Each structure stands twice: as C-alpha cells, then as structure tokens.
Amino acid sequence: NGLDIARPVKALTNALAAAGFTGIHVESLGPHVWPGWDLWLSRQWPPGTWPRNFLHAYEQKILDYYLVTAEQPIGNSVRNATR
C-alpha cells in the first residue's frame, strides 16, 4: 500500500547495541532526500494528495530518512551476541 512500517530510529540503535554492536552512528539524510522526493512526486500527484505528505511529515519531525552504521566487535558474531 505504498508505505513501509515506520519505526523510531532509537529502536534500531537499541537493537544493534543489544546485539553487541558498537560505534553506532545515526545521520539524518532528510535534507538530501525529502525535498527531491517531493519534487519528483509533484510530477504525478497534486498538492494535498496523500503522497505529498512525506515532505510535510519530515518538516514537522514526524519522520526522517537515516543512514545508520555500526561496528561488529572482532570475534563477536551477531549470532553469539543475540544469545
């Protein structure tokens, strides 16, 4: 139906930490994503339609687009860290 299930980025970073990952870093990519995405959507969807809500939701800090990185400590597999 067009939208993945949104989750707080903190839920992901907490899960990574619980699995033994370190050096967890979160970077917002929203300023580089949402304006261009809205421009592309504007070619097919008029203002006020549902797809055009992404930029508004970003501007209201309801959602964002992130790059999340983490390091797996040497000798610590994900399988072992989650047991």
Distance, in Å, from the CA atom of 27 to the CA atom of 40, rounded to the nearest integer, reads 23
Chain-wide mean pLDDT for the chain? 88
CA distances in angstroms from 42 to 35, 36, 52, 78, listed in the order given: 11, 10, 7, 42
Confidence at residue 78, expressed as pLDDT on a 0 to 100 scale: 58
Tell me the mean pLDDT in the region 55-62.
Answer: 92
When mean pLDDT is compared across 36-40, 62-66, 74-78, the lowest value belongs to 74-78
Is 74 or 80 the better-scoring residue by pLDDT?
A: 74
Tell me the mean pLDDT in the region 15-41.
Answer: 96
User: Strand, coil or helix: what is 6?
Assistant: coil
CA distances in angstroms from 14 to 8, 55, 61, 66, listed in the order given: 10, 27, 20, 15
pTM equals 0.72
Confidence at residue 75, expressed as pLDDT on a 0 to 100 scale: 72
Q: How many CB atoms lie within 10 A of CB 55?
A: 19
